[in-house]
Structure 1
Amino acid sequence: MPAGSSSKRERQYEHIKKSAQDRGESADRAEEIAARTVNKERARAGESRTASRSSIEDMSSGERGGRRSHSGSQGPTYDQLYNEARQRGVEGRSHMNKAELQRALDAR
Structure 2
Amino acid sequence: MPAGSSRKRERQYEHIKEGAEKRGTSEKRAKEIAARTVNKERARAGESRTASRTSLRDPKSASRRGGQRSHSGPGGPTRDQLYEEARKKNIEGRSSMNKQQLSRALGR
Q: Give your verdict on TM over 0.5.
A: yes
Amino acid at match of 1:10: E
The alignment-based identity, stated in percent, is 64
Structure 1 pair 87/13, CA: closer, same or farther in 2 (3 Å)? same
Distance (Å, rounded) in 2 between the aligned partners of 1:38 and 1:57: 16
Q: Paired residue for 1:51?
A: 50
Distance (Å, rounded) in 2 between the aligned partners of 1:85 and 1:91: 8
The Cα shift of 1:63 comes to: 4.3
Provide Cα deviations, 1:22-71, integer angstroms capped at 9, x if missing partner: 344321121111112112212222233x02242333342134338x39xx
Unaligned 5+ residue runs, structure 2?
none
Higher helix share: 1
Q: Paired residue for 2:28?
A: 28
Q: Paired residue for 1:83?
A: 84
Is contact 2:9-2:38 (8 Å) kept? yes
Which consecutive segments of 4 or more residues in structure 1 shift more than 6 A?
none
How many residues are matched? 103
Amino acid at match of 2:80: D
Structure 1 pair 5/52, CA: closer, same or farther in 2 (3 Å)? closer
SS in 1 for 2:106: helix
Structure 1 pair 100/20, CA: closer, same or farther in 2 (3 Å)? farther
Unaligned 5+ residue runs, structure 1?
none
Q: What is the root-mean-square deviation in Å for CA atoms of aligned residues?
A: 2.7
The Cα shift of 1:79 comes to: 0.6
